Amino acid sequence: MVARAMQLRPPKIKVSRLVTELGWRANLVLCFIAGKAPAITKDSARSAQASSKYSAEKFRQQFNYTFIPIKDAIENSAAWFKAIEK
């Protein structure tokens, strides 16, 4: 959804946990040799593989709030990012 809203090609390949784990380690070694900060860390690699779900029901009931659909939120955010890019 995000890629389409930003008018970009969506990713086609799902990267496995093994590839992610090997990737951050290889990046660490290469960055150590080059003397640069790693672009991929252990935490960012594991975070990229994680899936978390949260419920907003308590908030919704307490504040009588209605969320906008996720599709609309993504489209609004994409439009905002495109506007500030210029």
The tens place of each residue's pLDDT in the chain, 86 residues long, gives 999 999 999 999 999 999 999 999 999 999 999 999 999 999 999 999 999 999 999 999 999 999 999 999 999 999 999 999 87
On whether the CB atoms of residues 54 and 82 are closer than 8 A, the answer is: no
pLDDT at residue 13, rounded to an integer? 92
Which residue shows structure tokens 């003397």?
35
| Helix or strand (DSSP H, E) at 76 | helix 70-85
Model confidence, pTM: 0.61
In whole angstroms, give the CA distance from residue 75 to residue 69. Answer: 10
pLDDT at residue 4, rounded to an integer? 92
In whole angstroms, give the CA distance from residue 63 to residue 4. Answer: 32
